[in-house]
Amino acid sequence: MFTTLSELETVRHARWRAMAGESPAPTPLQDWITAQGLAPLSPWPSAPPSLAWRTETLADTDGIMLQELEIALEKQQVIETPLWPVPVYIGRECFPWAYSLIGERDLAGGVRRQMRMGRQSPLSVQILELLRAPHPQTIPELRRAVGGEKTSELAIAEALEKLQSAAWVLRLGRREGLGLWQATSLAWPELPRLAQTYSKASAAANFIIRYLECMLAATEPELSDFFRPLIPASRLQSGLRALTSGGYLRPANIAGTPAWELTGSELPAIQPE
């Protein structure tokens, strides 16, 4: 039980350093991200440790971590999402939970339905079709395929961000500094099937557990602020209640603010339904 924020911060930082390991043999980047569930590129309020924190903590002055990140993206060991204001990276084992929460199960007609609803643009639909080609493509390559006189690289980048936010496309590392993109249905065709084994409730619960395993305890504002782009407030609250009644979490109070912490009991990941 943590009674003050300073006490919690002290224990949190000790936990984070243990999870990161120590140079010259730190925890592999993809394993570190998976252990947290996800990691932002730069510090973000209420978030688990960022890649910038890891770089500073491990004194990575040679930029090795960023090279490892691009390799991990290319191998799909971690997945990038733009749902937060800063890029966030989710471990491969955890991404089916995210896809269950944000992904489209109708891969054939879903994007056109989203276009009719105003969630995707005609350019997004065209780009998605192009990214179903066998090889990942860069933004300049997509612009040439669309017709350079018809659109700009900025417009294509914006369309890609919308597609990536709904997990229609994945960024698979870089080529000569340019991001490589491919349709999720081609890059990871099993993903929708994997995601369907999780209900939205169990996917949210898995993220909450992984988050608290890293953060040790969190106030309700921390939880709601951080998970807002991924988990609606109503589903977050129902997930907290279900995990509490199941014995995984218990209510706490940190400096007068309602909070949640792990019970200390065995906490296996919630299994697919």
Could you write out the three-class secondary structure of the chain? CCCCHHHHHHHHHHHHHHHHCCCCCCCCHHHHHHHHCEEECCCCCCCCCCHHHHHHHCCCCCCHHHHHHHHHHHCCCEEEECCCCCCEEEECCCHHHHHHHHCCCCCCCHHHHHHHCCCCCHHHHHHHHHCCCCCCECHHHHHHHHCCCCCCHHHHHHHHHHHHHCCCEEEEEEECCEEEEEEHHHHCCCHHHHHHCCCHHHHHHHHHHHHHHHHCEEEHHHHHHHHCCCCCHHHHHHHHHHHHHCCCEEEEEECCEEEEEECCCCCCCCCCC
Looking at the structure, do residues 122 and 180 belong to the same domain, yes or no?
yes
pLDDT at 1: 64
Query: Residues 12, 61: one domain?
Result: yes
Residue 270 within a domain: no
184 and 203, same domain (yes or no):
no
**Domain end (from 188, 223, 249):** 188
Range of the domain at 152: 104-188
> Which pLDDT does position 265 carry in this prediction?
55
Residue 209 lies in a domain: yes
Q: Tell whether 248 is covered by a domain.
A: yes
Q: What is the CATH number of the domain that holds 227?
A: 1.10.10.10
Last residue of a domain, one of 188, 210, 233: 188
Residue 53 and residue 33 in one domain: yes
Q: Residue 22's pLDDT is what? A: 87
> Does any domain span residue 267?
no
Number of domains observed in the structure of the chain: 3
Same domain, 78 and 141: no
For position 48, what pLDDT does the model report?
Answer: 95
For residue 273, is it within any domain?
no
Domain contains 39: yes
Does residue 17 sit in the same domain as residue 75? yes
Per-residue pLDDT of the chain in tens (273 residues, 90 and over written 9): 677 888 889 999 999 999 999 878 899 999 999 999 999 999 988 999 999 999 999 987 778 888 999 999 999 999 999 999 999 999 999 999 999 999 876 655 677 777 777 777 889 989 999 999 999 999 999 999 998 778 999 999 999 999 999 999 999 999 999 999 999 989 999 998 899 999 999 999 999 999 999 999 998 889 999 999 999 999 999 999 989 998 999 998 888 888 999 887 554 444 444
pLDDT value at position 85?
94
Q: Are residues 179 and 225 in the same domain?
A: no
